[in-house]
């Protein structure tokens, strides 16, 4: 059957959207835009929309709890008249403790539903945090921000950190972290930007900003062309910071304090896939010590 020709991620996407009651007309453009051949997408949609029952999603890929929560959110969005524009990662929500296929054990430390924010502890061991810092140390340069009009990266007084980029899979450790995140968030490795390690000294900060590209800014176009919108952000905390250096969401009154090995995930878009202004966030100034984090932005589609 045509469904067998889809990757597990696409099978699950199809299953969820059929279960949500999305029409073939709304799903087809998203499949084609996501890189599936049109003829195959049409065959799949014909097959699934002809079926009396929604397709069961596989347990292994998505714990039931995660599916239910996501469905409830989508149902709410649909009830509010919203149409699902983009898919987004599906962070694992089931169970206080999670085990990934490479044996990594995590704990869900905090969860917020709107916007979707998850704090997982235990993504990295202490030795892995130290190894990431050591790998990055040789390539740290002054961080930049994207110019709103030109789309170019340039240093800015609002972002006083030093950073170093890693290509996807550049080192075994980088690849291992990427595989864990992909499994934890149920989002393909290929849709992720490379990991970026940031170092903030005392006074270093990243003032309030959005990670999504503002579609109304001229400079966003060239970024959106490759990989589409940023749909999720991962911040991996690599060091113990003596004082300050939290990640703060001013409109939520929420601040996450750095804890080595933990990862903060938040969805940059709401359940319909629309850029979410409540994700405004900042790296607050470091008051004592040094803050190291690794950031990964997840794109709507295959990136690079
Ligand atoms: O430093 C932080 O805690 C936040 C970093 C951040 O927002 C980013 O790199 O986009
Ligand atoms: Fe950010």
Same domain, 220 and 152: yes
Q: Are the C-beta atoms of 162 and 142 separated by less than 8 Å?
A: yes
Same domain, 18 and 156: no
Same domain, 146 and 292: yes
pLDDT at 32: 80
pLDDT at 126: 98
pLDDT at 58: 28
pLDDT at 162: 86
Q: Are the C-beta atoms of 243 and 257 separated by less than 8 Å?
A: no
Domain, as residue range, for 127:
97-299
Look at residue 173 and tell me if it is in a domain: yes
pLDDT at 249: 97
Pocket probe mutation, ligand 1, options 258, 282, 296, max atoms within 8 Å of Cβ: 282
pLDDT at 49: 76
Q: What is the CATH number of the domain that holds 266?
A: 2.60.120.620
- d(CA 103, CA 161) in angstroms, rounded, equals 33
Same domain, 36 and 143: no
Look at residue 87 and tell me if it is in a domain: no
Q: Are the C-beta atoms of 292 and 300 separated by less than 8 Å?
A: no
Same domain, 176 and 295: yes
pLDDT at 57: 35
Atom of ligand 1 nearest to the CA of 246: 3
Among candidates 185, 216, 210, 192, which has minimal Cα distance to 276? Answer: 210
pLDDT at 53: 39
ipTM above 0.85, yes or no: yes
Same domain, 196 and 283: yes
- d(CA 246, CA 171) in angstroms, rounded, equals 28
Last residue of a domain, one of 12, 35, 61: 61
Among candidates 68, 114, 76, 56, which has minimal Cα distance to 93? Answer: 68
257-260: long-range contacts at Cβ-Cβ below 8 A with a sequence spacing of 24 or more?
Answer: 258/291, 258/293, 259/121, 260/124, 260/126, 260/129
Element (H, E) at 234: strand 230-237
pLDDT at 19: 66
Look at residue 76 and tell me if it is in a domain: no
Burial 285-296 (b: 16+ CB within 10 A, else e): bbeebbbbbbbb
Helical ranges in the chain per DSSP H: 8-19, 24-33, 38-50, 64-79, 126-137, 172-185, 221-225
Ligand 2: centre distance to CA 52 (Å): 43
Look at residue 83 and tell me if it is in a domain: no
Atom of ligand 1 nearest to the CA of 211: 10
**pTM more than 0.80:** no
For the chain of 304 residues, list the mean pLDDT of each consecutive stretch of 10: 78 71 76 84 85 36 42 58 87 95 98 97 98 91 83 83 92 98 98 96 94 94 95 98 98 97 98 95 97 98 96
Q: Is the dihedral of CA 102, 108, 111, 117 positive or negative?
A: negative
User: Which ligand sits nearest to residue 204's alpha carbon?
Assistant: 1
- d(CA 91, CA 101) in angstroms, rounded, equals 15
pLDDT at 145: 83
> Cβ contacts of residue 133 below 8 Å, gap of 6+?
197, 238, 239, 292
Same domain, 174 and 36: no
Residue corresponding to tokens 């490795």? 189
Ligand 1: centre distance to CA 246 (Å): 9
Ligand 1: centre distance to CA 170 (Å): 22
pLDDT at 8: 72
- d(CA 188, CA 255) in angstroms, rounded, equals 28
Residues bordering ligand 2, an ion, CB closer than 5 Å: 211
pLDDT at 66: 44
If you ran DSSP here, which 8-state letter would residue 249 be given?
Answer: E
Tokens of 152: 């170019």
User: Which ligand sits nearest to residue 205's alpha carbon?
Assistant: 1
| pLDDT tens figures, 174-220 | 999 999 999 999 999 999 999 999 999 999 999 999 999 999 999 99
Q: Are the C-beta atoms of 302 and 227 separated by less than 8 Å?
A: yes
| pLDDT tens figures, 239-264 | 999 999 999 999 999 999 999 999 99
Burial of 244 (0-12, 13-18, 19+ CB in 10 A): buried
pLDDT at 210: 96
In short, whether 123's Cβ falls inside 6 Å of ligand 1 is no
Residue nearest ligand 1's atom 9 by CA: 295
Same domain, 57 and 122: no
């Amino acid at each position: 059957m045509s469904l067998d020709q889809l990757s597990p991620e696409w099978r699950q996407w199809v299953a969820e959207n059929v279960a949500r009651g999305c029409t073939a007309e709304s799903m087809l453009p998203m499949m084609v835009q996501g890189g599936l051949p049109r003829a195959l997408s049409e065959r799949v949609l014909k097959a699934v929309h002809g079926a009396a029952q929604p397709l069961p999603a596989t347990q292994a890929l998505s714990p039931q709890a995660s599916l239910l929560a996501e469905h409830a959110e989508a149902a709410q969005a649909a009830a509010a008249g919203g149409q699902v524009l983009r898919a987004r990662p599906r962070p694992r929500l089931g169970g206080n403790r999670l085990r990934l296929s490479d044996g990594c054990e995590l704990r869900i430390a905090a969860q917020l539903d709107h916007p979707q924010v998850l704090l997982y502890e235990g993504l990295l061991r202490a030795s892995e945090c130290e190894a990431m810092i050591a790998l990055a140390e040789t390539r740290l340069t002054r961080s930049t921000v994207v110019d709103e009009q030109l789309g170019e990266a340039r240093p800015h007084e609002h972002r006083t950190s030093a950073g170093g980029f890693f290509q996807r899979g550049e080192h075994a450790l980088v690849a291992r972290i990427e595989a864990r995140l992909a499994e934890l968030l149920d989002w393909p490795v290929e849709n992720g930007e490379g990991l970026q390690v940031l170092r903030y000294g005392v006074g270093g900060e990243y003032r309030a900003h959005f990670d999504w590209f503002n579609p109304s800014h001229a400079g966003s176009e060239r970024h959106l062309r490759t990989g589409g919108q940023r749909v999720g952000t991962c911040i991996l905390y690599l060091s113990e910071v003596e004082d300050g250096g939290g990640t703060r969401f001013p409109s939520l009154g929420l601040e996450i304090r750095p804890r080595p090995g933990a990862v903060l995930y938040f969805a940059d878009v709401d359940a319909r896939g629309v850029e979410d202004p409540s994700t405004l966030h900042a790296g607050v100034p470091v008051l004592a010590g040094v803050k190291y984090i690794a950031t990964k932005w997840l794109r709507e589609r295959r990136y690079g």
